[in-house]
Structure 1
Amino acid sequence: MTPTRTGYQGIVATVPVTIPYVRYSIHSAHWWLGKALGAMVRDAGVAKHDIDGLCVSSFTLAPDTAVGLTQHLGMSPRWLDHIPMGGASGVIALRRAARAVQAGDAGIVACVAGDTNHVDSFRHTVSQFSRFAQDAVYPYGAGGPNASFALLTKNYMRQTGATREDFGKLCVAQRDNALRFAHALMKKPLSLRQYLDARQITDPIHLFDCVMPCAGADAFLVMREEKAQALKLPFVRILSTIERHNAWAEDPMQFRGGWTMDRDAFYEHAGVGPGDIDFMQAYDDYPVINMMQIEDLGFCEKGAAPQFVRDHTFTIDGSFPFNTNGGQLSVGQAGAAGGYLGMVEAMRQLTDSAGATQVAKADIGLVSGFGMINYDRGICTAAALLARSAA
């Protein structure tokens, strides 16, 4: 019997921060994470010592963990979490932080993710990504996400009839959104013809299917609603969250994610359904995972995402606004910060601070995370439903 879940009443997320991404950086991950913390302190109007909880996600922080970072930043939190879960990290940080504040273990929690990107750091990260990568993939020449997602994409196309044009439509729409987002690294329009004609990377993956590694950081604060009100900070409410790890291990190859295990409880806990969602921010290192999330989170039947893509525009001012800042495919992937990119954008949407990417009448948003790819599957999935403040 599944126990009854406690809601998140009175706990809010606020002060979304993005430290503008750059393609390469000589700075350390510590520098990027510190810049994000400094920006939150300034934007929130609090002192650094007022932040007594800290969630950290980073691939290039090693050999430090969140513990070492506290010394580097001159902090002494009474609650600390290190979340090495890649694209699921943003939602999972929100979950952990909200429960810590709710339990009284911390008053203000800073959730911070960031990575640097030296000229050769991505190759090093890929080669050391996991024990599985070190022992079973990288030595055989299949290291890195391109080969894994080519495998997943080909399998998905075979099972659903999805075409490169379908994937391209998502990529083109996201680029259109990114052209309105100041921090996007991709500054040029993308046509479907350019997408289709781009050079092949690993069949059926081509250039614009692949996320571009970069350096940057994203962050937000979690606190009680009355604290946010006292600080005069705009905030968003947390309606529901889920996470699941190593789901459907019996599947020969990943065709569904852990969202399917908890989806009904996810919406029931929030008191809303897929039809109530005004926009979706999905983890998007490759377009195939976008389609998987659209299906697994209930916006269409399993295997029907190709038709769903054909039926919608995905642009900010069109039907089913999706990755409204352009997502990682057009903004860039700043390591673990990629798992926060959709979260901070959703918070901006729901506080009317998204600027040129603002979706009209956005009241409820869904943020979905996916992380830690191991050859033929990602083993971390998470999602959050966020809502505009009632005030």
Structure 2
Amino acid sequence: MRDAYLVGAGQSDYGAFPEESYRSLFRTAFDAATDSVPKGLDAGDVDEAFVGTLGVGGRQLGLSGPAVTEHVGLDGVPTTRVENACAASGFAVRQAVQAIKSGMADVVLAGGFEVMSDTSSDATKYWLGVSGETEWERLSGTTFSGVYAQMASVHMERYGTTREQLSRVAVKNHANGAKNPHAQLGFECSLEDAQSAPVVADPLNLYHCCPTSDGAACALIVSEDVVEEYTDDPIRVAGVGAGSDDVGLFQRDTYTGIPASRRAAESAYEMAGVGPDELDFAEVHDCFAIAELLAYEDLGFCEEGEAGRLIESGATELGGDLPVNTSGGLKSKGHPIGATGAGQVVEVFKQLSGTAGERQVERPTRGLTHNVGGSGGAAVVHVFEREEPRSSRNSSGRGPREKESEVSA
């Protein structure tokens, strides 16, 4: 199978934008992605597209993928909408890689979008809840914060994890988000702020929960056959892994981990030929503070039950041994459901291309993204690896994807 490479990625700001539509947000992300490609990439180069969205609020439920790709000029490009709850665009990236590796496409767009701010709080809770188990969780009144609160309670009881350790996740991610101009909650918070916030679902308080967001993100994945037409500094998609599980938390054997994440990570590490100790940074799915701590254990950053002590040690802070959520994560950067997975890839692209600004990790070569759907019904993990710079073989001066016949004509 052919190797797949990440050559560009971009996003809109995340937040509440009543003057924007899902199409205009996607255009912003698409334009940012194409502009980030070192040697340039045109809409006409794209062979296929995968677009993630939950479709919050009822707008364009059918054919929402083609609705945004046609808007940005991908006329006639085969487009597939991907829905896997909060992991929608993470799986869109996976499908883009599959299309490349299979030989069916050379340039693929993977993106996502969501508009969540134009419905009432009750309606938003409903749309978030549809990704939970319907009969025994959502219709009985359980919210996502309630489900993750159950996870937190059991982890705290079993392993001694504390509210202060949960709050340290928020403090770290807000510190990183304050350095990210795209972040929805781009401000720092103190440990006291994060511990004294109003309770949402005990033991989780307001600072332990991510916001609802409007936003879009796009990534451009190309094959090894054409990568040198777009960049001399390739970023290889070294590993891909995915997993699914029972949608309802009550149906699973554990409350202190997400088995789908563990399976996805194992597959991604095996494909990449690396272990978690060989990563330089990671973007993990921190919809709630406990979710980041669970990710530390599920992804092999520490032993089971040690996540609270890992966050307390400072190892996952910017400048630590393994910086996690340098973008600010879902907690500070924001969580526009369908855009979140692709947005994580945007941060990887910036870090590995050295354009992350104040939050830049020192000389990274390998990063990971981890995107979860619902409370763990689906998960996808990617490992990205920066290769040594190479000289372009395209010495003719032709633009990207330009055919010999087009030049001679």
TM-score surpassing 0.5?
Answer: yes
Aligned partner of 2:49 in structure 1 is 54
1:17-32 equivalences under 5 Å are 17-32=10-25
CA distance in 2, matches of 1:351, 1:252: 38
Aligned partner of 1:3 in structure 2 is none
Alpha-carbon offset, residue 335 of structure 1: 2.2
Aligned partner of 1:173 in structure 2 is 172
Contact 2:90 2:340 in 1 (8 A): no
Identity %: 23
Contact 2:110 2:342 in 1 (8 A): no
Q: Does 1:239 align with 2:232?
A: no
Aligned partner of 2:397 in structure 1 is none
| Partner secondary structure for residue 367 of structure 1 | strand
1:303-382 equivalences under 5 Å are 303-373=305-375, 378-382=376-380
CA distance in 1, matches of 2:223, 2:379: 26
Alpha-carbon offset, residue 324 of structure 1: 0.5
Alignment CA distance shift 1:252-1:104 (3 Å)? closer
Contact 2:131 2:374 in 1 (8 A): no
Aligned partner of 2:393 in structure 1 is none
Aligned partner of 2:404 in structure 1 is none
Alpha-carbon offset, residue 252 of structure 1: 5.7
Letter in 2 for 1:120: T
Contact 1:52 1:76 in 2 (8 A): no
1:256-267 equivalences under 5 Å are 256-261=258-263, 263-267=265-269
Letter in 2 for 1:387: E
| Partner secondary structure for residue 20 of structure 1 | coil
| One of 8, 15, 32 as aligned partner of 1:15 | 8
Letter in 2 for 1:362: P
1:187-206 equivalences under 5 Å are 187-206=186-205
CA distance in 2, matches of 1:178, 1:58: 23
1:3-48, Cα deviation, whole Å (9 max, x unpaired): xxx5x53x20121101112324243323322332233344443332
Aligned partner of 1:160 in structure 2 is 159
Contact 1:111 1:219 in 2 (8 A): yes
Contact 1:122 1:213 in 2 (8 A): no
CA distance in 1, matches of 2:41, 2:180: 28
Letter in 2 for 1:297: L
Moved more, 43-52 or 350-359: 43-52
Structure 1 gap ranges (5+):
1-5
| Partner secondary structure for residue 86 of structure 2 | helix
Contact 2:265 2:381 in 1 (8 A): no
Contact 1:246 1:379 in 2 (8 A): yes
CA distance in 1, matches of 2:18, 2:133: 25
Alignment CA distance shift 1:118-1:383 (3 Å)? same
Letter in 1 for 2:377: I
Letter in 2 for 1:16: A
CA distance in 1, matches of 2:383, 2:324: 14
Contact 1:19 1:218 in 2 (8 A): yes
Alignment CA distance shift 1:116-1:233 (3 Å)? farther
| Partner secondary structure for residue 180 of structure 1 | coil
TM-score normalised to structure 2 length: 0.85
1:136-188, Cα deviation, whole Å (9 max, x unpaired): 4444433x322221122112212221001111112111111112111122233
Letter in 1 for 2:198: R
Contact 1:87 1:283 in 2 (8 A): no
Contact 1:79 1:106 in 2 (8 A): no
1:219-238 equivalences under 5 Å are 219-232=218-231, 234-238=233-237
| Partner secondary structure for residue 299 of structure 1 | coil
| Partner secondary structure for residue 173 of structure 1 | helix
Moved more, 104-113 or 36-45: 36-45
Letter in 2 for 1:30: R
Structure 2 gap ranges (5+):
390-409
Q: Does 1:300 align with 2:311?
A: no
CA distance in 2, matches of 1:316, 1:272: 22
Figure out how many residues of one structure are paired with residues of the other and give that number: 379
Contact 2:26 2:113 in 1 (8 A): yes
Alignment CA distance shift 1:132-1:386 (3 Å)? closer
Aligned partner of 2:141 in structure 1 is 141
Contact 2:6 2:235 in 1 (8 A): yes
Contact 1:25 1:117 in 2 (8 A): no
| Partner secondary structure for residue 21 of structure 1 | coil
Alignment CA distance shift 1:203-1:387 (3 Å)? same
Alpha-carbon offset, residue 273 of structure 1: 1.4
| One of 377, 381, 384 as aligned partner of 1:383 | 381
Alignment CA distance shift 1:390-1:91 (3 Å)? farther
CA distance in 2, matches of 1:52, 1:221: 11
